[in-house]
Structure formats: C-alpha cells, structure tokens
Amino acid sequence: MAIKIHDYFARYRSRSILFVTLIQLVAAALAGGFLWLVWQQNSDGALNFAITVAATVAAINLVFTPIIWWAVNHPTRTLTQAIAHISKDPVVTPPPKLSASDERTGLKALVQTVYELAIATNPKTADQTVGTNAGAVKPTAASDFFQTVADLTPCGIIVINKQGTITYANTAAPTSPTPSGSRGIDLIFEQNNSLGAWLSDARANKVRDTHQWFRVGDKLPGEPDRRIFDIIGYYQKNDASDIEVVLVTFDRTAVYINDQEDMDFIALAAHELRGPITVIRGYLDVFNQELAPKLTADEHMLLERLQVSAERLAGYVNNILNVSRYDRHQFTLHPQEESLPSLIQSIGPDLMLRAKTQNRSLVFKVSNDLPTIAADSSSLGEVITNLVDNAIKYSHDGGQITVGATPKENWVEITVQDQGIGMPSNIVGNLFTRFYRSHHSRQQVGGTGLGLYICKTIVDAHGGSIWVRSVEGQGTTFGFTMPTYASVADRLQSGNNSTKGIVRRPEGWIKNHAMYRN
C-alpha cells in the first residue's frame, strides 16, 4: 500500500479530537458569556437559573462527548485495523478485536464483509482471517459475484503468477487456450517494448512498477477482426502471492480505426505535396543543365539554393510519410545486399550541395573495401540524409561534417560527426523521441522533430542500433550500425524469392530483366 493506512487513521483521529475540542470550547465560551451577561444584570433569581442552565450544558457536554466520540471513533478504528490487517500495513498488523456489542450494532457484519471482499479478490487472505473474537470468516459467494462482475466489464483483466502462468483472465481479456492446456495472451507486442522485456526489467530492478502500452494488436495488420488495445500492467514483487502481474486491457479498436483514416489523410496530403515538389525539382534540374554555363557565380549560387531547398522539402515529406506508415504498422523494409560506397556515391552529390550552399564542408571517409551490408537502400539513404541535415543545422558557419564508416564484426558502423554547438548530456536521452526538439533547437533552428525519430525507426527495423555522443560546445557524433550482408544472408534469401532480380534505388525499384526473366 502506497499510503500507510495507520497514518491515515492517526490523521483522522487527531483531526476529530481537534474538532470535538473546538466544539466544546465554543460551547463553554457561550455558556460563560451567558453567565457573565446575567451577572451584570445583578438579579439573584436570574443568576440561579443561569447557573443551572450552564451546569446542565456542562454535564451534558461531559457525559455525551465521550459517548459520541466512542460511537464514531470505535467503528472507524476497527475498520481501519481490518483494512490495515488485510493489506499488511506494517504499523497495524493485528486484526481488530470485536465484542458482543459490535455484533448487535452490525459492526461485526461490516468487518466480515470487508474480509469477504478481500478473500474474493485475493484467496491468500483466507489464511490470515480475522482474530478469534470476530469468528472465522469463510469464503462465500462473493468470489463468484466478482467473477461475474469481472466478466461483465469491457476491460480485460489478466493475472500472471511468478512462473509466468496466467492464473486468471476474464472474458474480455485477449487470451486463448494453448495446446498445453494453459492460457496464452493474444497480443503482438513490439519487439523492443514487449511484455517480457518489461517484466524482466521489473523483476531485476523494481519492487513495484506500472507500464503502459498503446496500440497493441491481437493480430497482424490486415488480418480480419483485428482488435487494437491499450494496456496497463502492474507488477509487484511478492514472493508469497500468486499474483505478480495484473494486466488491464482496453479495447480501443474503434478509436484507432478512425486514427488510421487520419493517417490515410496524411499519406494523401503528402502525395498532393509531392506533385508541386516534382515540378519544382524537375524544372530546377532542367534550368541547371540549360542555364548553368550562362549564369554568373552569384546567380548560380541562387539556383543551387533553390535546388537544395526543394530537396529538403522532398525529404521532409518523406519523413512525414515514413512516420505515418510506421504508426500504421505499414512500415516495411526491403533489405538487400548493398554497397555503402555506391549508396554514398548516389546520394553524396546532393548532400555535398546541401552542405556547400549552407557554407559547411562535407567529407566522406568511406573506404571502398567495406563489407556489403543488408539494407533497404532508400531508407538507409534517408537516415544518412537526416543525420547530415541535422549536423548542418547544429554546426557553425564554415564547420566540417565527416561521414565515416568502420566494420565491426557483423556490423558496419556509420558515423556522422560535426564540430557544432553540441548539447548537454541531460537531453541526449530524449533525442530520438518523436517531435522532441532540444533547448537550442526551439530557440534557434526550425524543424519538425521527426528526423531523428525516423532514423531510429529505420535503424531499429534493420536490427541495428543508433547512438549519439555529444560535448556541449565541441560537437556531436551520431552513429548507427547496419548488419553486414554476410551475417544475415541466409535469412534474407529464404524469405525473399519474390524480389529476386529487383534493383532497389533510393527513388524506388526497377526489375533487372537480365536476371529476372531467366
């Protein structure tokens, strides 16, 4: 119990005493005042009468106050003791003592009901039932009653014991029987936010813990009758009890389906935005080819700025689309054997131009003999572009940004380093959260706060990890890992026959008929 019941009662008691004392003082003051007034009148008959009245009031006060006090205090204390006893409050452990008079007043019946309710929700309490004076309280129909109530609620309730077995699940809970005869939970948690992960963390580090999950489906997207839940989990370390975890699930399918329509709207809006972007980028490209030789250096710079801005605009739209696809669980990767140097070759010129127009120098230190990686080239290009964009944003005029890559066992680590403003360590942990913008960025730089979030999403989806190291005033390095193709080749090939002969590019895919039709 988070609140100590005994403490609560002690507060109640001291307040009650204060309150009764106050009433007595007021009564005494009134009586005294009355006496004083009559005394001033100087009339013997009236004085005698007044003394009688005052004495009677005092007597009534003296006799009835303790009676009233006892009548209120006793049942409250008894109930408090009972609840403290059931919940094993450390201060009050013995059960309340009940007398014959309590049976007459009905207090005993009340206390028994409290114990029955406790037994219905936690059968273990039955072992330590109320003291002898009150008589044994036995489990009753109350447990059936609560079973019925639990089955009537639209919330799912799942109780799991220390062994990980489901010991109770009501009707609404998304569970189903397993072949071994026990019950299993029909929920598809995300890999890095699973029930198991939370539980092992809680077991290792916590005495109690609460965790929430949102948008957890019981089937994969696209399967019929899919339901989507929000879930709250309670964990309590309890060696004696059979209850280690209680999950409460809320069926939010109706709400999230509407959400899905909103997301479709985002996809549609992004599609609309891409129309004009296509035209702007395209004609700028035409301009660049046809006019470049005739332009002055200054005009040429303006044209480049236009080009870079159009590219960044296209990048933002891609970020929004990616997030909307990810949120709808429609974010799928098509990893293939890719060579990082050739990807850099394809996106490098655009990035160089971006850096150049914003007066930064961009250096690629990517060796040609790196092992090939298993990556979705379009998504990987977006990660590198977002990180470089970020480095440009948060570095100084004239600064250098270095993109490097080093092989590390089964991974290739790609880093993007700047010598910019850096950031304090306390904000580093939040960087990969959606819409998170650092203290600097809110004041000085624009942006949607989606870039790093989508980077993390893409890297996670490849099985890699992303990190950041930063020193305020000295610069920031972002790094992430991609699996080498050799380390995952067998897995990729087994599931990917349909895409054989497909050449993926940052802008889409093309069939290679030389491979495809043979």
Partner 1 sequence: MAIPVKTILLIEDDPFISDMYARSLRKAGYQVDLISNGEDGAKTALAKQYDLILLDILLPEKQGSEVLKILRGDKDLVPNSRVLVLTNFSQDDESRQAMQSKADGYLIKADITPRKLIEIIQSLK
Nearer to partner 1, 282 or 429 (CB): 282
Task: For tokens 């739209």, name the residue.
Answer: 317
CB of 390 to partner 1, least distance (A): 20
Q: Among residues 175 and 318, whose Cβ is nearest to partner 1?
A: 318
Choose the binding region for partner 1 from 20-28, 35-43, 267-275, 447-455 (rule: CB under 8 A): 267-275
118 touches 141 (CB < 8 A): no
Q: Cβ 290 to partner 1, closest distance in Å?
A: 9
Please report how close the Cβ of residue 420 comes to partner 1 at its closest, in angstroms: 28
Question: Which one of residues 13, 215, 252, 274 is an interface residue with partner 1 (CB under 8 A)?
Answer: 274
Instruction: Give the C-alpha distances (Å, rounded to integers) separating 295 from 33, 291, 300, 304, 354.
Output: 104, 6, 6, 12, 20
The Cβ-side half-sphere exposure at 190, using a 13 Å CA radius, reads 18
Tokens 């809110």 — which residue? 442
Indicate the residue among 183 and 281 with the shorter CB distance to partner 1.
Answer: 281
Smallest distance, partner 1 to C-beta of residue 436, A: 25
Q: Which is nearer to partner 1, 370 or 502 (CB)?
A: 502
* Pick 19 or 516: Cβ nearer partner 1: 516
Minimum Å gap between C-beta 407 and partner 1 is: 29
**CB closer to partner 1, 81 vs 457:** 457
Binding flag, residue 262, partner 1 (CB under 8 A): no
If one asks whether residue 279 binds partner 1 (CB under 8 A), the answer comes out as: yes
Query: How far is it, in rounded angstroms, from Cα 373 to Cα 463?
Result: 12
Burial label for 333, CB within 10 Å (0-12, 13-18, 19+), is middle
By beta-carbon proximity to partner 1, the closer residue of 314 and 370 is: 314
Spatial neighbors of 503 by CB under 8 A, at least 6 apart, are 509, 510, 511, 512
Q: Based on the number of CB atoms within 10 Å of its own CB, is 81 exposed (0-12), middle (13-18) or buried (19 or more)?
A: buried
DSSP code per residue over 161-192 = -TTS-EEEE-TTSSEEE-TTSSEEE--B--GG
DSSP letter, residue 67 = H
- Cβ atoms of 310 and 280 within 8 Å: the answer is yes
Choose between 8 and 509: whose C-beta lies nearer to partner 1: 509
Out of 181, 224, 275, 446, point to the residue binding partner 1 (CB under 8 A): 275
User: Per-residue string for binding with partner 1, 283-302, x by CB under 8 A?
Assistant: xxxx--x-------------
Q: Which is nearer to partner 1, 18 or 510 (CB)?
A: 510
Residue where the block lists tokens 């700028």: 284
188 binds partner 1 (CB under 8 A): no
Q: Which stretch binds partner 1 (CB under 8 A): 66-74, 120-128, 273-281, 356-364?
A: 273-281
From the list 94-102, 111-119, 278-286, 414-422, the region that binds partner 1 by CB under 8 A is 278-286
Residue 14 phi, psi dihedral angles, 5° rounding: -65, -35
Does an H or E element contain 470, and which? strand 466-471
Q: Per rule CB under 8 A, is residue 267 in the interface with partner 1?
A: yes
Amino acid at 105: T
The residue with tokens 């290739």 is: 412
- Determine, following the binding rule CB under 8 A, whether residue 282 of this chain makes contact with partner 1: yes
Among 188, 277, 353, 492, binds partner 1 (CB under 8 A): 277
Least distance CB 308 / partner 1 (angstroms):
13
Contacts (CB under 8 A) with partner 1, residues 327-356:
330, 332
Distance CA 119, CA 127 (A): 9
Using CB under 8 A, pick the residue from 157, 317, 427, 428 that binds partner 1: 317
Considering the complex, state which of residue 6 and residue 281 has its C-beta at the smaller distance from partner 1: 281
Total residues at the site for partner 1 (CB under 8 A)?
32
Smallest distance from partner 1 to CB 330, Å:
6
Binning the chain into helix, strand and coil, the percentages to the nearest 5 are 55, 20, 25
Shortest Cβ 279–partner 1 spacing (Å)? 5
Of 52 and 332, the one with the shorter C-beta distance to partner 1 is 332
Q: Report the distance separating Cα 256 and Cα 279, nearest Å.
A: 35
Token digits of residue 350: 């655009």
Among the listed ranges 23-31, 102-110, 277-285, 485-493, the one in contact with partner 1 (CB under 8 A) is: 277-285
Binding mask 498-517 for partner 1 (x = CB under 8 A): -------xxxxxxxxxxx--
Burial class of residue 229 in the structure, from the number of CB atoms within 10 Å of its CB (0-12 exposed, 13-18 middle, 19+ buried):
buried
Q: Is 271 in the site for partner 1 (CB under 8 A)?
A: yes
With CA atoms as reference, report the closest residue to 393 among 428, 355, 426, 432. 355
Residues making contact with partner 1 (CB under 8 A): 267, 271, 274-275, 277-279, 281-286, 289, 314, 317-318, 321, 325, 330, 332, 505-515
